[in-house]
Amino acid sequence: MKEEVTTRGSFTEALYNRASEYFTSVKSGKYATAGFYVKALVLIALYVSSYIYFIFYSRSFTELLLLAVLLGICHVFIPVNISHDAIHKAVSANNLINQLALFGFEITGSNSYMYRKKHLEAHYNKENGSKTIAIESQALLLQKRNADKKTNLHYIFYIFYAKYMIFIRDFALYFNSTETIPLKQFIKLFFFKAIYFFAFLVIPFIYIRLPW
């Protein structure tokens, strides 16, 4: 090792320096390659086409189930494989492209502003040796408070985890925040949550007709 690591801080600094050296040395640099954009287009196309077929063309329970699984996979892959990189401004040197990639959170029911804020805070906390704070600050656990003690809810509640993450967590983080959040972010939160709610919890009941 080039640097002698004596503290967590020096380890983090050495890690960042080596990462910077690596990206300087490779031809592609620190931004996304063409493969990233192909992957992003495929995932978005798969997400949109699956939703359209799910709503308007499904004719059996088997089709609905398979498409629901596919939509669920897209709900994970789009934020993790596209928007996460945009959080770290690693998609492009053009900030507009990074901002556009962040909308992967909105179209899958999450919120880019709060996800980015909590994700970067978690990185900071983990780098400074507090995994517990890193997890709890993101409200990733289903917990209840008894007096001054927090306890995790029974695992059975995690059956509804997706609904919690989409329809409760972001609102709780917004309204419990001790920092001032711009009004436009509140507007964006409610606007995209309403669209998502309508798209996945209203439209399906209007258009899907199956002979049960």
**Rounded distance, CA 110 to CA 107, Å?**
7
C-alpha dihedral sign at 81, 82, 88, 91: positive
As a whole-number percent, the residues of the chain with pLDDT over 90 amount to 47
Would you say 196 and 162 are in contact if contact means Cβ atoms under 8 Å apart?
no
Q: How do residues 164-212 score in pLDDT, each as one tens digit? A: 778 888 898 899 888 899 999 999 999 999 999 999 999 999 998 875 5
Q: How do residues 162-174 score in pLDDT, each as one tens digit? A: 777 788 888 988 9
Query: Is residue 91 scored above 80 in pLDDT?
Result: yes
Q: Highest mean pLDDT: which of 67-71, 137-141, 145-149?
A: 67-71
Model pTM score: 0.77
**Rounded distance, CA 70 to CA 46, Å?**
8
pLDDT band (50, 70, 90) for residue 133: very low
What phi, psi does 143 have (nearest 5°)?
A: -130, 160
What phi, psi does 27 have (nearest 5°)?
A: -65, -40
Contacts of 169 (CB under 8 A, 6+ apart): 139
